[in-house]
Amino acid sequence: MPNRTRRGRIRLIAVAAALACVASTSLAAPPAASGMTKAEEYRNQLLDHSASAPMMAVAHLGAWRDSSENSLTAISRAATLGVPINEIDLQVTRDNRLVVMHDSSVNRTTARTGLTTSFTLDELRGMQLRTLRGGSQAPLTNAKVPSFDDALNAAKDKILINVDKEGWNQREAVWAAASAKGMQRQIVFKSDRSAGEVKQFRDAHPEALYCHIVRATNYQEALTMQPAPHCYEVIYTGDNDAIASRDSIDALRNRGARVWVNTMWRGLAGSNTDEGSLRDPALGWARVKGLGASMIQTDLPSELQHWIRTGSTTNVGLPAGESGWPRGTSRAAPRELPTTTSNRPTWAARANRARASTCATPRAPSISATSGAVSG
């Protein structure tokens, strides 16, 4: 009897482990449709403007909570999570090349100081990135500042890339670099420029995906743009702003476009934030979805993906010190985490490590298996 009981317990443990492995697949990107890359599948989703179009997550700076903002690891992680779009920022170097960096200076995210225009691309690519959102207290990593070409290589066929900061000003250079790799259909351009300027670019590049940034000040012009953008990125400071009404959002959607909102911190979509969404989705993601948004840019891509797939934020959370930008912090003043919490992983990273020994695929005795990952 004791042996039988022990065998029963072993079977239960094995079943539980198998179920955990099955459940873990919800964190990974589902396979692409036969004969289609994931990036092309996501492009088709972006062009789906029907009422049943799936919600799309946009990873702000990549999935940086496991690495560094705007790093190759952050892009690779976002793709692994099944996030359709990875937002990156572009700056120009001294030798007129494109580098992936949020700020116009290297001060916050590296150990060096100076403007990106003071360094060559090779010099920038040799600089180590600080963890997470950087800051003087953030440790340096082995990851290096990537060039735009590096970012394209990391994203090829896996995920769409939205280019911000100098992305629009350098749109022809961006188009040329992406086209050289056959990736022009993976780039999502955006701006708040005049309808005429946007039309000129889109007429020259009909395949280009384009989202228009909309505020109260340019809402009326945005409604009459020809052709209509593929999506509108709506920015509003207060929950009761006229632009945030369902009627205003519907007017944009009725032009055959998706509506994109940002929930990284307060004032981008009123009071709707990532950290509020973890407490209650009605304080963020669910509320903007109810307004008609079908794209959400976030600093919590794994948690947003979990909510999109399950409709719940139960058992989804971050360690202390990683709950988003503090209230009252401006976009121009990046959040700096205490060193005691800056290296703590997200719930997803901890769960992945906890499952590693259980979910690892057995290796055949006579076969040597190797694995590789894009490092940032």
pLDDT of residue 91: 98
309 has a pLDDT exceeding 60: yes
pLDDT of residue 14: 40
344 has a pLDDT exceeding 50: no
pLDDT of residue 316: 61
Please state the pTM of the whole predicted model.
Answer: 0.78
Q: What is the mean pLDDT of residues 249-255?
A: 97
Of the two residues 146 and 314, the one the predictor is more confident about is 146
The Cα-based distances of 233 to 50, 237, 247, 257, 261 in angstroms read: 17, 13, 16, 10, 6
Under the banding of pLDDT at 50, 70 and 90, the label for residue 345 is very low
Of the two residues 89 and 2, the one the predictor is more confident about is 89
Q: Across the chain, what does the average pLDDT equal? A: 82
The Cα-based distances of 159 to 64, 69, 144, 156 in angstroms read: 15, 17, 21, 7
124 has a pLDDT exceeding 90: yes
Q: Strand, coil or helix: what is 366?
A: coil
Q: What percentage of the chain reaches a pLDDT higher than 70?
A: 74
Angle subtended at Cα 273 by Cα 269 and Cα 274, rounded to the nearest 5 degrees: 135
Q: Which is it for strands 56-60 and 295-298: parallel, antiparallel or unpaired?
A: parallel
Q: Give pLDDT tens digits for 214-242.
A: 999 999 999 999 999 999 999 999 999 99
Of the two residues 352 and 166, the one the predictor is more confident about is 166
Q: Return the structure tokens found at 99.
A: 């580098």
* Preceding peptide of 227 cis, ω within 30°: yes
Whole-angstrom distance, CA of residue 300 vs CA of residue 317: 10
Q: What is the mean pLDDT of residues 163-187?
A: 98
320 has a pLDDT exceeding 80: no
Q: Return the structure tokens found at 53.
A: 């179009």
pLDDT of residue 323: 40
Q: Give pLDDT tens digits for 159-173.
A: 999 999 999 999 999
CB-based burial label for 320 (10 Å; 0-12, 13-18, 19+): exposed
The Cα-based distances of 30 to 41, 43, 226 in angstroms read: 11, 15, 35
Please tell me the number of Cα atoms within 13 Å of 274 on its side-chain side: 27
Under the banding of pLDDT at 50, 70 and 90, the label for residue 35 is confident
